[in-house]
Amino acid sequence: MRHVYFDHANSTPLLPEACAAMLPFLNQEFGNPQSFHRLGETARKAINIAREQVASLIAALPGSIIFTASASESNNLAIKGLVLANRAKGNHIIVSTIEHHSVLEPVKGLRRLGFEFTLLGVDRYGQVDPRELSQAIRPDTILVSIMHANNEIGTIQPLKELIGVCHEKGVLIHSDGTAAVGRIPVNVTELELDAYSFSAQSFYGPKGAGALYLKPKTRILPLIEGGIQEQGRRAGTENVAAIVGMGKAAEICQSRLPAWAEQMQRLAERLYDELPKRVPRLVFNGHPTEHLPGVVSLCVEFVEGEALLLCLDDEGIAAASGSACTARTLKASHVLLAIGLDHALAQSSLLLSLGKDNTSDDVDYFLDRFPPIVERLRQLSPLYARHLKGEDPYAFKTGQGDDDKEN
């Protein structure tokens, strides 16, 4: 059976060069970076090199990089650390409705400490309007967090404009860049961001390695205390092997990204062109032009997304329905609901995220296997049966059951 991997938004395969760089630090180079002997010095130098490599990938200074264990940890550190460090200035936070749960949940949790938050809506393409952001900022607003690009629908935010709005009003802005890094060039210095989160597994590095960029002189309180690591901002013995792997992956990604992005976009355009010709009643999601290369988000009417994934997996095709953090809850994606899709359509979502190693043959294989899967599942669908009879397939549905409305 042929195997096709279209789930790069959730995890990318480890680069051989990154794996090779990690291996010495998994066996013979086992020293603690804080030790003063040779083994400690070797580990310390390796981390410093990785910090330079990771910083270069996003055009930052090495000293502005804080290593973490994941983008989720970076988001938590940014949200909680920046808010608590600036509590004397106010208690109001703004985030968009399509943020990753590692941004939304910490913000909601801060209510227990007396903080307030506003969920800022998006348009049908998933973009935040800078004018609406400006109107939402209050005198007591201390932090705004809006992702650079969305991992489920691929929409890229007008980040430069949003940053300008925040800084004009004297408010810090953090951005989750996990979906963007490894697909588009990122220059945090040019953007003038205050904080930026990302993860190694998004650009062919190891799992268990992430980073938070923090603009120089920006105050932040640590989540993990008890050590001097990462300039006292994240205590605990460093995961040297993972950090080294992240650094090597960053170095390679920076040099090869233009070619990778061109290849991913070319293949994605084939899917956008060919799929509607082969399967009727598809709804594509995301912005038509401000979009990550290689990300195809669609809804297949009258078919459950989970069933699609299982049938595709039987054919050797790995894909996603929503993000990995929400797919197993069997709930409709909060991102798709936020852009205006109803629950039934949102639950029919399919996310195809291509990577640097995908080929035209992979796309051909998918285009060959996908239509009969959809047809088979639709024949089993009561919604599709109602549609064929000329009835409204959703007429019997009442309410959406949205239990996550916050203001």
Under the phi-then-psi rule, with left for phi > 0, alpha for psi from -120 to 50, and beta for the rest, what region is 197? Answer: beta
Write the class of the CATH domain 4-8+258-388: alpha beta
Q: Which CATH fold would you assign to the domain 16-253?
A: Aspartate Aminotransferase; domain 2 (3.40.640)
Query: The whole model's pTM is what?
Result: 0.93
Task: Find all residues with CB under 8 Å of 282, minimum gap 6, and list them.
Answer: 275, 276, 298, 299, 300, 301
User: One-letter amino acid identity for 122?
Assistant: V
pLDDT of residue 134: 98
Give the number of other CB atoms < 10 A from CB of residue 165.
21
Active centre residues (catalytic): 325
Tens-digit pLDDT profile for residues 273-330: 999 999 999 999 999 999 999 999 999 999 999 999 999 999 999 999 964 455 455 5
Cα 161 to Cα 177: distance, rounded to the nearest angstrom: 16
Residue 402: band (very low, low, confident or very high) from pLDDT cuts 50, 70, 90: very low
Which among 222, 218, 93, 81 has a CA at the least distance from the CA of 146? 93
pLDDT > 50? residue 401: no
Instruction: Return mean pLDDT, the chain.
Output: 94
Cα 293 to Cα 184: distance, rounded to the nearest angstrom: 8
Torsion (CA) 154, 158, 160, 166 in degrees, nearest 10: -110
Continuous segment of H or E residues that includes residue 19:
helix 16-22
Task: Find all residues with CB under 8 Å of 273, minimum gap 6, and list them.
Answer: none
Cα 174 to Cα 78: distance, rounded to the nearest angstrom: 7
Cα 328 to Cα 320: distance, rounded to the nearest angstrom: 11
Where along the chain do its domains lie? Answer: 4-8+258-388, 16-253
User: What is the average per-residue pLDDT within 46-63?
Assistant: 98
Residue 389: band (very low, low, confident or very high) from pLDDT cuts 50, 70, 90: confident
User: What is the average per-residue pLDDT within 190-199?
Assistant: 98
pLDDT > 70? residue 403: no
Residue where the block lists tokens 């084939």: 270
Least confident of 83-87, 97-101, 389-393, 403-407: 403-407
